[in-house]
Amino acid sequence: EAQVTQNPRYLITVTGKKLTVTCSQNMNHEYMSWYRQDPGLGLRQIYYSMNVEVTDKGDVPEGYKVSRKEKRNFPLILESPSPNQTSLYFCASSTGTGVHRAYNEQFFGPGTRLTVL
Amino acid sequence: SQELEQSPQSLIVQEGKNLTINCTSSKTLYGLYWYKQKYGEGLIFLMMLQKGGEEKSHEKITAKLDEKKQQSSLHITASQPSHAGIYLCGAAGRGRGGADGLTFGKGTHLIIQP
């Protein structure tokens, strides 16, 4: 089944304790990205990757890191989490317009609910 | 960056009634996506529109993109309880996320009353 998986689904942590949220897709997609969703602010893109070893900042990258060592995985790293990073996080993937020159369906993971105390 | 305005913010509709949700942009839309989200859960892809005047339907949901490509509407016919949730429109290529990065509206909360 074509899907984007995220782990963990729920996480409660404390300020300053490094954490990683994993994201994996099985569709051989080139484009992957991370979003956070907050009440009143909607979904905002954090980081994206157009291919292996190619990552770039989205609209709200502060406090986050990512890596893309393999095509299927795109982990989100919070080196020193703070309470303002409490949010619902989504990973997404798509084939990318660079390949097909047309917009394609973007697949979203189930979400990771993070609470930073 | 792209700003998307969704209206209404929330909608309560009696089961069986039709409804329309709008998504308006200040700039031309390229790759306009509609998603549905159950509260606190993931996003379910509904439809994607690219061409001016394009219209797509799936079951009882129809999405349209106007000729000027600045407004899209999502219409649900004969609403059912399963249609309840948050509807999000997303525009491609207008934020910092490259051509495929989506900028979303704030969503429309749809409640279906039995």
Q: Give the end-to-end CA distance of chain A in Å, rounded to a whole number.
A: 36
Hey, of B29, B32, B38, B100, which one would you mutate to test binding to chain A, going by the most A CBs within 10 A of its CB?
A: B100
Buried b (16+ CB within 10 A) or exposed e, A56-78: eebbbbeebebebeebbebbbeb
**Total count of residues recorded for chain A:** 117
Q: Return the pLDDT at B81.
A: 96
pLDDT at A1: 86
pLDDT band at B92 (very low <50, low <70, confident <90, very high): confident
Which residues 1-60 of chain A have a CB within 8 Å of chain B? Answer: 31, 33, 35, 40-45, 48, 50, 56-59
* Residue A39 neighbours by CB under 8 Å, 6+ apart: none
Q: What is the pLDDT of residues A23-72, one digit of tens each?
A: 999 999 999 999 999 988 889 999 999 999 999 999 999 999 999 999 99
Q: According to the model, what pLDDT value does residue A40 have?
A: 86
What number of H helices and E strands is found in chain B? Answer: 0, 11
Please answer whether residues B35 and B88 qualify as being in contact, where contact means their C-beta atoms are separated by less than 8 angstroms: yes
> Would you say residue A105 has pLDDT above 90?
no
Q: Which of B35, B42, B98 sits opposite A56 (nearest CB)?
A: B98
Set of chain A residues whose Cβ sits within 8 Å of the Cβ of B96? 45, 56-59
Residue A96 near chain B (CB below 8 Å)? yes
Pairing of strands A10-13, A112-116: parallel
The reply to whether A110 touches chain B by the CB within 8 Å rule is yes
Give the C-alpha separation, A109 to A81, whole Å.
22
- What confidence category does residue A102 fall into, taking pLDDT thresholds of 50, 70 and 90? low
Whether A81 and chain B come into contact, CB under 8 Å, resolves to: no
Residue A12 confidence class, pLDDT cut points 50, 70, 90: very high
